[in-house]
Every structure is written in C-alpha cells, then in structure tokens.
Structure 1
C-alpha cells in the first residue's frame, strides 16, 4: 500500500508551508517549480497545499492579473485555460509532494477537463486567490509506488465555487519511458515550425491572430487547412510558455490551446469568447516530425459547443468537447472605455 502524505503527516513530503507552525504570519510563496513540471517560477500558479486524510487535500493557487500567454479576456476576465493549467499543476504536485513520486519520473496525461462559471472568472483589483478541494478517486499503485491518479477538483474563490475540474494520468520511471519513446524523433530547433525540418507539409505561417482570439502570431498554434473547419497544428518549441522546458512530444496544453483557437476560428463573427468548459482525452503522443490535423465542428442542438479532434498518421491523438459563451456585453463595453 502506498505510504502517502495524504494519510501520513510525517516526513519531508508533509512539511507545512511558511507560517503554518504558528510562530509567525502565514507567508505566501509558490510551491517548488519542479513539483508542477515547470522550469520558470513565473509559470507556477500553486502557492501551498495541506495534506489531509482519506484521499482529500487542499491546494492553494493564485491567478495573475497579467500574463504573457494566459492573457485576460477583454481586460475583464481571467483566461479560462488557467483553470485547466491549475488543475494540471495540482495533479503533478500531489504526485511528488504527497505520494513521493521521484522528480525524474515521466507523466502521461489521459484526461483533463474543467467547467467554469463566467462570473467566477471576472478580474478584481488584485490577483485571484483560490482554494482547490482535491479528491483522489482512483489511486493506482505497484510495489508501493504511485503508477497513476484520477482526481476531482472544486475551485473556490472567496468561499464560492467558481469552477470544477479533474484529470487522469499515469507516471512511469525513466527507464520504462525511454523504452516507450525509443523511436521518437527529436523536436525541431527552437524557432522552427513543427515538421518543417522533417520535410513534411507543415504550414508556412499561422492563420490570422484575430481569427483565433489572439493578438500575436507567435501565440497562434493553427495553420491553414485544406477545408473549412480544418487546420494544421503549429508547435514552436521557441514559445516560452507552451514549451516551458524541452520535451520529446507536443504537450497536451498545446492541443488544448488548439481546441480553444479552433472554437474562435469556427465562428469568427461571434466576437470575444470565454471557453467555459472542456472535456478532453489524449490517446497517443503528438509527434513533432509529422503533420497533425485539427478539425472542429459544431455539436448539433448544443449552442456554443463544438467537437475538436487532432489526428496524426490517420490516428486520433486528442479529442475534446469545448463549450463557449460570448463575453458579456457589459464587460466588452467596460474594457473599451
């Protein structure tokens, strides 16, 4: 049985955060960047965690009012994809801090989802302070080591639930991962389009940033496709947020961003959108050296809902259901003023 800090409060994994010992004011900092698989401290959104029993714990987080990539929507709402990234980081934190998974183990994300209330995303005069109530629903183990985790998160702001989410991942030792990825292709040099150096038909340039809800082509992950509702994925390892550190495959958050941008591109006349919900599944690795096609279509009878898929070599690598809502008119009016 796993000796988890969720059930045992002894040892370094369960060490309290600053000020928890009652000797002074409770200070705020971020959790170690290594625990959330980030190279830059600026990309760490978790600030603390409290081990609890029975597969439950509390994680604290903060959303900034400004960010280089998760930019505010109409200067009035936090980027909803912050919800997804916060839920992802919480799962990685638990693996290392609560279950003792070594930092050199590799993680394979299988599912990631969230649903957010638009009003809960509104920006205030200070960064948003959040509490995630985490429940571990499935804990995989082998020989006393964590092999996988499925968990649910309820995200609260000022005591009110503003979003929910969850994820499922597995984690493997470096030697096993090396065998799984023995035939992988090295990513292209930073600053090049995925697939260009491999002689594939990767797109020569991004679609118009305004068409996908972006202001800079550097942040666009969609290139022109061969039919309406189709695009080619663009993955630039030089991007400092989407590629915070070197990887041997295209990260899941890049595919999630592609789904968000496809929602804008599918209905460019809809105006500013909030992606209030995502149900995503990852089926296999998305490789750098081969074209990856993104497709999106509206779900009949479900206003503001679309189905997004990513295919590579004729096989699905990602499927997702994306729910959007127009930014409230009063927010657009206020930001314009």
Structure 2
C-alpha cells in the first residue's frame, strides 16, 4: 500500500529503518525474472533501479513523513547512474542508503522532499540517484487538475501501433512505449492503460515510469544500439502527460560523455508544451567493463539505527 502498487508481486521493497532524523536504509529484492523489466541473460534491467527508487518516495512519505494516504506525489526531477556490473543476477539484495534534504512541511506532514540515494549490493556501491518531489492534498490536487481529477470520466486516445520491438530493445509488441512517425527521431508516446505493470492502478495521467521507459526506448532507437544498456538519466518533469492528447517524443544524439558513453537528449511535448526532458547515457554493449572501482558503502552503526516498518 505504501508503494502505491496494487499488485503485491510488483513491490520490490522489503524492509526499511530510520538511521538518522532524515536518513534511512531500505532493502529491496530484484526478482530473477520480471514480466516487464526484462534484462539480458544473467543481468537485471537497469530500470529496476528507477522503479526501486520510485517506490521509496511513497514509502518514506507515508511511513516517515506523515503524509496521509490519498495525497498526491508530484515527481519534479530524477537523476540516476549505475555501474553495469551491479546488474548481474546473483541473488543478492539491494540496499538503498537514503538521505532526505530540503524537507518542507505543512503542519505535521512533509510538503516537499529532496532525496540522495546510494544503491549497494554486498556492501559495494553500484548506483546513485538524486530526486525531488512535492506533495499535494487531495482537495488542492482536484482543484488544480479540474476535470482530469475524475479518473472515471477521462477520455483516453486510441492505442497507437508500436514501432518494431527490436528497434527499441524489446521482444514484445505489448511492451513498446513508442509509435512511429514520418520524422526521424520523432515518435508518439504509446499509452496502453491496460498494461499490467505501467498502469498497475488507475491514474489520471501517463506515469513517470512510462516516460522513462519511452526515453530509454527512444535513445536505443536513434543510436541503433539494441545491444546497448541504458546506465543513466538526468530527467526533469515539467508537467503531466495527459491521456486525452498525443504526446510527442523526440530524441537527438549528443556528443559522447567523458566516460565514452553515448548520450541522447529525449524530450516529451504535448499540445505545444514541454512535458519532460532527459539526457540518457547508453553503455555500448552487454558485458561492458565496470566503471572504475567503487568504494564500499560504510556500514551504519547499530547505535544510530532506529526501527522502521
């Protein structure tokens, strides 16, 4: 319930505890096989890291910062990077070391939070993330969203045809998030509200994880690196992607980063306004060497740890 997932099998988080006033440790388990986040043989899908971090936003909001259930979380930005070596399927759990900053409150509850995350496996740092979000109570949310807040009455545009799955690193047409257009590097966001993972529960807009998946697929399409692995994104969410109008995804290749990885700028635009923008980093191929050695994550002393949920 705290992770905003109806399907209990989709909940990746296992345990959490408070380690300081605004710091926490959260443990997560990545399944060996997943219906949607499908990795390469012996490797997990990197977007499992994104979904794991995303689930901590409602978990800590409700569990640690007194945000009532029913309040809305608005994702503002999300920057993540990982070492491909951390994607190996070895059965070990993921440990997230989270520090919350810029915590603003309205009465007793949090109204805005920024988070820094270190992700470790067996004590070795494999990824980092930074994100921020705001919180709105249901009354304010309904006033701002107006007719869109009525999920039962929403109109959804017809499902558009997918691009060939192999062009975007997918094996199934059902999991393609893009539809083709006549322009190179330009796609229409494909919104399948019956998708069991991306639309696990009714929502009044395209979920952030759908936008990140669309960005991943667009980056692979324009770089023509189906064998590539997306290992980072630097994303800003500007406004909601509505379900009743086309959302256009554009991807353009940037100069390679200093680490030699390919970089692609991906943007979403709807009715003339920007929805989100991100810079996607793509490692060339499976089995890419690990990024330089990374330090072990320091252990949290027993004296500083407090019980959680």
Partner residue, 1:260:
216
- Which whole-Å deviations, capped at 9, do the CAs of 1:286-322 have from their partners, x for residues lacking one? 0011010000011124341110000001110010010
Match of 2:89 among 106, 123, 128: 123
Partner residue, 1:107:
73
2:33 is equivalent to residue 69 of structure 1: no
- Which whole-Å deviations, capped at 9, do the CAs of 1:63-98 have from their partners, x for residues lacking one? 11100001122x121100011111111121110111
User: Structure 1 residue 278: deviation in Å?
Assistant: 0.8
Cα gap change, 1:77 to 1:106, in 2 (>3 Å): same
Cα gap change, 1:113 to 1:329, in 2 (>3 Å): closer
User: Structure 1 residue 188: deviation in Å?
Assistant: 9.5
Contact 1:188 1:237 (8 Å CA) reproduced: no
**Distance in 1 between residues matched to 2:266 and 2:93, nearest whole Å:** 31
Partner residue, 1:285:
240
| SS of 1:169 mapped into structure 2 | strand
Match of 2:190 among 222, 234, 238: 234
**Distance in 2 between residues matched to 1:315 and 1:91, nearest whole Å:** 26
| SS of 1:182 mapped into structure 2 | helix
- TM-score, structure 1 normalization: 0.81
User: Structure 1 residue 156: deviation in Å?
Assistant: 0.8
2:166 is equivalent to residue 170 of structure 1: no
CA RMSD of aligned residues (A): 2.0
Q: Between Structure 1 and Structure 2, how many residues are aligned?
A: 286
Partner residue, 1:180:
144
2:53 is equivalent to residue 53 of structure 1: no
Cα gap change, 1:178 to 1:226, in 2 (>3 Å): same
Partner residue, 1:38:
5
**Distance in 1 between residues matched to 2:61 and 2:175, nearest whole Å:** 30
**Structure 1 unmatched runs, 5+:** 1-33, 197-201, 332-337
What is the 5 A alignment of 1:172-321? Answer: 172-184=136-148, 194-196=156-158, 203=160, 205-268=161-224, 270-302=225-257, 303-321=261-279
**Distance in 1 between residues matched to 2:226 and 2:146, nearest whole Å:** 45
Structure of greater relative contact order (alpha carbons < 8 Å, 6+ residues apart): 2
Cα gap change, 1:60 to 1:226, in 2 (>3 Å): same
| SS of 1:305 mapped into structure 2 | strand
User: Structure 1 residue 180: deviation in Å?
Assistant: 1.1
| SS of 2:210 mapped into structure 1 | helix
**Structure 2 unmatched runs, 5+:** 290-309
| SS of 1:184 mapped into structure 2 | helix
